[in-house]
Amino acid sequence: MSDAWRPRTQMIHGGLERSPFGESSEALFLTSGFAYARAEDAEARFSDRDPGYMYSRVGNPTVRSFERRMALLEGAEDAAATATGMAAVTAALMSHLRAGDRVVSARLLFGSCHWVVSELLPRFGIEVELVDGSDLEAWARALAKPAKLVFFETPGNPTLELVDIEAVAELAHEAGAKVVIDNVFATPLLQKPLELGADVVVYSATKHIDGQGRCLGGVILSDAQTRKDIVHPFLKNTGPALSPFNAWVLSKGLETLPLRVKAHGEGASRVAHFLEAHPAVRRVLWPGLASHPQAQLAQRQMQGGGSLLAFRVEGGKTGAFAVMNALRLINLSNNLGDARSLATHPATTTHSKVPEAERQALGITDDLIRLSVGLEDPEDLLEDLDQALQGSCRVLAAPAATTPVAAA
Ligand SMILES: *Cc1c(COP(=O)(O)O)cnc(C)c1O
């Protein structure tokens, strides 16, 4: 095994620990506990003299193998896996914080992350300040006072707005804060937050890492000491452990992640350019497009635009729903990073709990559709989108009298 291997090689060979049977594909250790030959062996493990396994809430070989592979991919010293992405976000934040601490976070966040930051943390006496993530002056103002943690995602869900990782990390470190980044949209292949100054990176492994819509998982990447002294004690005692079965599925997902991310990106590029030229589309937001409001930043900190894009159509919510309901190939689902393309209407689903005024300020308008571009042949996606957009134009153009009216 070599640390110098490139990601594609690393994702197939890295982190593998063969059992005495010499299996070629990794074994699945679906066990809750581990047996000791003698009472003294158990004593040694509990006293940390013997690093072996004790109980799968604390550690499991299949989970550890997934963690090692993730650390290799991210270029992190170590990783800690969790049952879901939200468990990873919550643990990464809570394990670092105590009453009286101050957190500065971007406002544009995945719905549940927004809840954890704005509702959960303040319950424990943690002061939280939300800022416009794309505004460096807002970050500078908020970080003029000391803080313990800075948290954000980039690109952000669902408008694909970016945060300048390098610049914010510098401000955060001056304020004494560690930087925690949710890197789900970019994946470990397209953006390297640790190289840009982040201290901790979190993923929902449910998304591109599984990549086939099968299971939930999460992972927290950091330096080895942070994992050992801060993150792992929190995880092992509070219990959001990743199932060994899911860890096995996710390790299998990593074997093809570099190839899939490349294909997702090529598909998304085709779809983004197609939509941008389509007369029925008002606006396309994809970090790989020259028209993205932060295209230069995208070029600087990302190695590709990724698989997620958002677009605005004519006719507000009616128009957006008409397009979505006319889709034949693309599924309606709020998941993302799946092999199948998925369309969602953020204003009425993932972000429906965000207050209306805040939604407008964040650009989550009623005419906005988010698309997670899958691995289908892009030609089929373009045909499906084209027929759906044309169909919606006919619906919008139809005289009001022909639309069915519900009986009073
Ligand atoms: C999905 C997602 C999460 C939460 O992950 P789960 O695995 O669903 O718990 C967090 N952040 C982002 C950006 C996500 O897309």
Q: For residue 230, what are the domain limits?
A: 7-254
CATH of residue 383's domain is 3.90.1150.10
Tell which wins on pLDDT, 277 or 393. 277
* pLDDT computed for residue 404 by the predictor: 55
- Cα(77)–Cα(70) distance, integer angstroms: 10
Instruction: Indicate whether 163 belongs to any domain.
Output: yes
- Asked if the structure places residue 405 within a domain, the reply is no
Claim to verify: residue 203 and residue 68 sit in the same structural domain:
yes
Looking at 236, 254, 272, the residue that finishes a domain is 254
Is 389 inside a domain boundary? yes
Report CA(86)–ligand 1 centroid distance (Å). 6
**91 lies in a domain?**
yes
Asked whether residue 231 falls in the same domain as residue 270, the answer is: no
Whether residue 142 is found in the same domain as residue 14: yes
Does residue 402 carry a pLDDT above 70? no
Q: How confident is the model at residue 2 (pLDDT cuts 50, 70, 90)?
A: confident
Atom of ligand 1 nearest to the CA of 335: 1
pLDDT of residue 355: 86
User: Position of tokens 């957190």?
Assistant: 103
Residue 123 sits in a domain whose CATH number is 3.40.640.10
pLDDT at 408: 43
> pLDDT > 90: what percent of the chain?
89
Task: Give yes or no for residue 321 having a pLDDT over 80.
Answer: yes
Report the mean per-residue pLDDT for the chain. 95
Are 263 and 221 found together in one domain? no
Do 307 and 269 share a structural domain? yes
Residue 192 lies inside a defined structural domain of this protein? yes
Residue 400 has pLDDT above 70, yes or no: no
Percentage with pLDDT > 70 across the chain: 97
Q: 83 alpha carbon to ligand 1 midpoint, in Å?
A: 11
Distances (CA, A) of 225 to 62, 79, 167, 230, 342: 22, 11, 25, 8, 39
Q: What is the mean pLDDT of residues 255-275?
A: 98
Dump pLDDT digits (tens) for 331-372. 999 999 999 999 999 999 999 988 889 889 899 999 999 999
Same domain (yes/no): 181, 125? yes
Shared-domain flag, residues 173 and 265:
no
Given 254, 284, 311, the domain boundary residue is 254
The answer to whether the CB of 161 falls within 8 A of the CB of 108 is yes
Is it the case that residue 3 has pLDDT exceeding 80?
no
Check whether residue 86 and residue 75 sit in a common domain.
yes
Do 271 and 340 sit in the same domain of this protein? yes
Q: Which residues line ligand 1 (CB under 6 A)?
A: 84-86, 89, 110, 113, 153, 157, 182, 184, 204, 206-207, 216, 218, 336
* Cα-to-centroid distance, 221 and ligand 1 (Å): 15
Instruction: Show which of 189, 219, 254 is a domain's final residue.
Output: 254
In this predicted model, which residue has the larger pLDDT, 393 or 80? Answer: 80
Do 308 and 362 lie in one domain? The reply is yes
Q: Yes or no: say if 113 and 89 are a contact pair by the CB < 8 Å rule.
A: yes
pLDDT at 406 over 60: no
Q: Are residues 216 and 292 in the same domain?
A: no
- The total number of structural domains in the chain stands at 2
Is 0.75 surpassed by the pTM of this model? yes
